[in-house]
Amino acid sequence: LSPLQPVKGVRVAAIEAGIRYQNRLDLVVFELVSTATTAAVFTRNAFCAAPVQIAKLNLKQGQPRYLLINTGNANAGTGDPGRHDALTCCQALAEAAGVSANQVLPFSTGVIGQRLPTDRIVKAIPKALRELGADNWLHAAKGIMTTDTRPKAISKSLQIAGSKVTITGIAKGAGMIKPDMATLLSFIFTDASIEQPLLNHLLAQAVSHSFNRITVDGDTSTNDSCILVATGASGAAITSGDEKSLRQFTVALEEVFLGLATEIIRDAEGASKFVTVNVINGGTAQECLAVAYAIAESPLVKTAISASDPNWGRILAAIGRAGLVNLDIELINISLGQTELVAKGMVADDYSEAKGQAEMNKEDITITVDLKRGKASETVWTSDLSHEYVRINAEYRT
Amino acid sequence: LSPLQPVKGVRVAAIEAGIRYQNRLDLVVFELVSTATTAAVFTRNAFCAAPVQIAKLNLKQGQPRYLLINTGNANAGTGDPGRHDALTCCQALAEAAGVSANQVLPFSTGVIGQRLPTDRIVKAIPKALRELGADNWLHAAKGIMTTDTRPKAISKSLQIAGSKVTITGIAKGAGMIKPDMATLLSFIFTDASIEQPLLNHLLAQAVSHSFNRITVDGDTSTNDSCILVATGASGAAITSGDEKSLRQFTVALEEVFLGLATEIIRDAEGASKFVTVNVINGGTAQECLAVAYAIAESPLVKTAISASDPNWGRILAAIGRAGLVNLDIELINISLGQTELVAKGMVADDYSEAKGQAEMNKEDITITVDLKRGKASETVWTSDLSHEYVRINAEYRT
């Protein structure tokens, strides 16, 4: 982990509320200064948990002052009672902190289909507020973990027009979904000042280049949420008018997002490999993504990678079913790292199993597909499909 | 296996040609009477093997008299030399049998990316022709196996206007694709007389209700082929004018197709469960299929089934990401066998883990999703995702 830097205008606490387990950080509160702007993206799954529904409503009604995150229970598949429970927790925090309930955004991750133990959360809120501080980021990163094996947090600083600006983010998630222990959650904060429309744009763009380009199992979650907060407390402003600062800031912001996203892949359930799939020279970004996901989500490609098998036939077959119109397989080149596997749809002349094996033995695998039909390119990241993945997901509830 | 009945007008042989292994049936020849009509459907994968390309061409040019099938080598990813090799084999069989080369349809399954050992196939053809007989069906079913653990063959007979009509089919496949040992192949024969347009229609319809409704891993193959032959040798004719006979015949034909398709799922790689996914009361057939495949291809649902875990949250989450417009999750009911799991998007009132567990412990699992938004319904069949699946697909080449 890079050293985590405080973000002016944000205080955070992580405590043990005993939601599902004892002796485990499971309740995290972020407090934001009143000048903060907040942007959010949520799961597109139609089966969307109660806290996501409430957070969306509250975002429309006011500027958030608190983020309230619990693990141990996803409050998903809980209908009206679940929405009531999420509101109860927001109300309790709002009263203790002296804000209105719609200035609290709730987030939950954990078991699906069980009522949230609101009594334990409500009881723990005063302690969480007492413990708010500028430096509890690593605790917060630990406090939002479920089946993650390690906390995920990144900081970057940069100078914008003479002021130091910091970006610090945390994330959790070890599969796109853990249907019992749902979710990818990520919270990124900066002390720059950024107005709402630009903040929304920066979030959408950063997510599309990071969290929306990773896949463990193709399953999306009921609770996925990504939040970007700009407190303005550093005194520096990012505006679309100042292109140089905007570019600098965007680069740093996307490094934080991509760093968190790739940390999730590296910690994916049962993962033994970190796989980058580059698709280049496609007709459109969309067709590059279709090919990249067909490869990244193919159980057969993923099991081959798990076994360090340079199985180019499986990659070609995945490309072939990606649905591209008039795709000419006999134009395609595929490389594994620096080794050319396939040239013009056939095994490359100078390819040898020894070369392919050497690339596949690495922990970081890069597959590059050259479609030779245009100028678009896209990258997605994934993990392998291992015995361990099946074990974790088969045995999770037993 | 039901007793396999000969089909008038078809002779078959299965022999050992030593294509990849010794002491293994690996070359199958079907001989068709000159009155036979033949319909075919092939993989839609853009990465389509040489024999598929040649079979498509030959079908346009004449009435097939011979089907030539080899295992051990898929002749896929082999470019121009591969097409040449497939033609060489067709030519050799045509010369020995006294027909023209475009009356031979080639089929291959096995390793991808290696040249076909045409010398061994050409050398074995005279023996195959000498051994042609009416009763070698079980040998043929064995002769097209690759990683299948058992042969798949079904016969049905019925009376059409006083004549006995027989339908006998064989199939192979243990995953939708084995990129090294590619493929689903199936060959179904009847001695009824059926003209080409109706035969094409019957094949398309039967495939859409059977082979196109099964999924092991969502991967399609480079070599998938399904052939329906009507020899006319029984003397009975099936026509669109005689609705009663057509209906009787269609029912029997679809029983053969569905029987072969479900045999493939029961023999799927690493499968320990046979899973039927029914989606009812959808707005359109297409949206029912989208939901059914989202469930049937979800690694998380499939690992839960492997562990006999009645994990309804994973099923709801799969439904939620199937892309249905304005889907109201809080209308949905889900049953497991006769047990209601989910009512109105939440766990059913009278559901208990004990009831769910009892259903999940069965080998045959039926998941029924009631979308409550229309009158369409669809069914797909799948298997579970087990340790054994990963082992087979990870270790296949090692």
The band of B218, judged by pLDDT with boundaries at 50, 70 and 90, is: low
Chain B (108-167) residues lying within 8 Å, Cβ to Cβ, of chain A: 112-113
Give the whole-angstrom CA distance, residue B224 versus residue B44.
Answer: 8
Provide the CA B305 distance to its chain's centre, in angstroms. 23
Inter-residue contact B258 to B209 (CB < 8 Å): yes
pLDDT over 70 at A289, yes or no: yes
Is A394 within 8 Å of B304 when comparing Cβ atoms? Answer: yes
Pairing of strands B163-172, B152-160: antiparallel
Query: In this structure, is the dihedral angle defined by the CA atoms of residues A282, A287, A291 and A293, taken in order, positive or negative?
Result: positive
- Cα A187 to Cα A10, A39, A171, A230, B92: the distances in Å are 12, 10, 6, 11, 68
Nearest to B311 among A179, A312, A386 (CB): A179
Environment class of residue B397 by beta-carbon count within 10 Å: exposed (0-12), middle (13-18) or buried (19+)? Answer: middle
Tokens of A25: 């950080």
* DSSP state letters, B375-389: SEEEEEEEE---HHH
- Cα B39 to Cα B187, B207, B228: the distances in Å are 10, 12, 5
- Three-state DSSP at A244 gives helix
CA distance to partner chain A, nearest, from residue B314 (Å): 5
User: Interface pTM (ipTM) of the complex?
Assistant: 0.74
Give the whole-angstrom CA distance, residue B108 versus residue B55.
Answer: 11
Q: What is the pLDDT of residues B111-170, one digit of tens each?
A: 888 899 999 999 999 999 999 999 999 999 999 998 888 999 999 999 998 999 999 999
Q: What is the pLDDT of residues B42-66, one digit of tens each?
A: 988 888 899 999 999 999 998 999 9
Specify the residue for token string 């089966």: A47
Mean predicted confidence (pLDDT) in A184-209? 93
Is A113 within 8 Å of B397 when comparing Cβ atoms? Answer: no
- Three-state DSSP at B23 gives coil
Mean predicted confidence (pLDDT) in A351-368? 93
What is the count of residue pairs from A and B with beta carbons less than 8 Å apart? 212
* Residue A211, pLDDT score: 85
* Residue A181, pLDDT score: 41
* Residue B265, pLDDT score: 83
Provide the CA B367 distance to its chain's centre, in angstroms. 22
* Residue A218, pLDDT score: 64
- Cα A104 to Cα A62, A233, A336: the distances in Å are 9, 20, 47
Nearest to B45 among A77, A300, A320 (CB): A320
Tokens of B306: 């492997």
* Residue A115, pLDDT score: 93
Q: Is B46 on the interface with A (CB under 8 A)?
A: yes
Is B303 within 8 Å of A394 when comparing Cβ atoms? Answer: yes
Chain A (313-332) residues lying within 8 Å, Cβ to Cβ, of chain B: 313-314, 316-321, 324, 327-330
Q: Is A345 on the interface with B (CB under 8 A)?
A: yes
Give the type of residue at A329: I
Q: Across chain B, what does the average pLDDT equal?
A: 90
Q: Is A222 on the interface with B (CB under 8 A)?
A: yes
Is B303 within 8 Å of A76 when comparing Cβ atoms? Answer: no
CA distance to partner chain A, nearest, from residue B111 (Å): 9
Q: What is the pLDDT of residues B190-209, one digit of tens each?
A: 999 999 999 999 999 999 88
Residue of A361, A390, A396 to mutate, interface with B, max B Cβ within 10 Å: A390
Within 8 A by CB and 6+ apart from A326, the residues are: none
The band of A180, judged by pLDDT with boundaries at 50, 70 and 90, is: very low
Pairing of strands A104-108, A274-282: unpaired
| CA-closest candidate to residue B11, choices B35, B25, B31 | B31
Is A222 within 8 Å of B298 when comparing Cβ atoms? Answer: no
pLDDT over 60 at B397, yes or no: no
Q: Is B354 on the interface with A (CB under 8 A)?
A: no
Give the whole-angstrom CA distance, residue B162 versus residue A57.
Answer: 71
Q: What is the pTM of this model?
A: 0.80
CA distance to partner chain A, nearest, from residue B311 (Å): 8
The partner residues of A178 in beta bridges, in order of sequence, read none
Q: What is the pLDDT of residues A40-52, one digit of tens each?
A: 999 888 888 999 9
Q: Is A268 on the interface with B (CB under 8 A)?
A: no
Is B179 within 8 Å of A317 when comparing Cβ atoms? Answer: yes
Mean predicted confidence (pLDDT) in A288-314? 89
pLDDT over 50 at B181, yes or no: no
Inter-residue contact A222 to B317 (CB < 8 Å): yes
* DSSP state letters, B199-251: HHHHHHHHHHTTGGGEESSS---SS-EEEEEE--TTS-B--TT-HHHHHHHHH
Q: Which long-range contacts (CB under 8 A, 24 or more apart) does A80-84 make?
A: A81/A115, A82/A49, A82/A50, A82/A115, A82/A116, A83/A50, A83/A53, A83/A54
Provide the CA B121 distance to its chain's centre, in angstroms. 25
Q: Is A346 on the interface with B (CB under 8 A)?
A: yes
Residue of B109, B177, B327, B360 to mutate, interface with A, max A Cβ within 10 Å: B177
Which residues of A fall within a CB distance of 8 Å from B304? 179, 393-394, 397
Length of chain A, in residues? 398
Q: Which residue of B has its CA nearest to A82?
A: B346
Give the type of residue at A36: A
* Residue A2, pLDDT score: 56
Which residues of B fall within a CB distance of 8 Å from A175? 300
* DSSP state letters, A308-361: T---HHHHHHHHHTS--TT--GGG-EEEETTEEEEETTEE-TT--HHHHHHHHT
DSSP state of A6: P
Inter-residue contact A321 to A327 (CB < 8 Å): no
Q: Which residues of A are catalytically annotated? A: 183
Environment class of residue A103 by beta-carbon count within 10 Å: exposed (0-12), middle (13-18) or buried (19+)? Answer: buried
Strands of A185-190's sheet in order across: A37-42, A225-230, A185-190, A163-172, A152-160
Give the whole-angstrom CA distance, residue A207 versus residue B187.
Answer: 49
Which residues of A fall within a CB distance of 8 Å from B330? 79
Which residues of B fall within a CB distance of 8 Å from A298? 217-219
Percent of chain B with pLDDT over 90: 70
User: Which position among B71, B118, B183, B368 bears the catalytic label?
Assistant: B183
Percent of chain A with pLDDT over 70: 94
Nearest to A330 among B79, B299, B386 (CB): B79
Is A219 within 8 Å of B317 when comparing Cβ atoms? Answer: yes
Give the whole-angstrom CA distance, residue A138 versus residue A129.
Answer: 17
Which residues of B fall within a CB distance of 8 Å from A372? none
The band of A398, judged by pLDDT with boundaries at 50, 70 and 90, is: very low
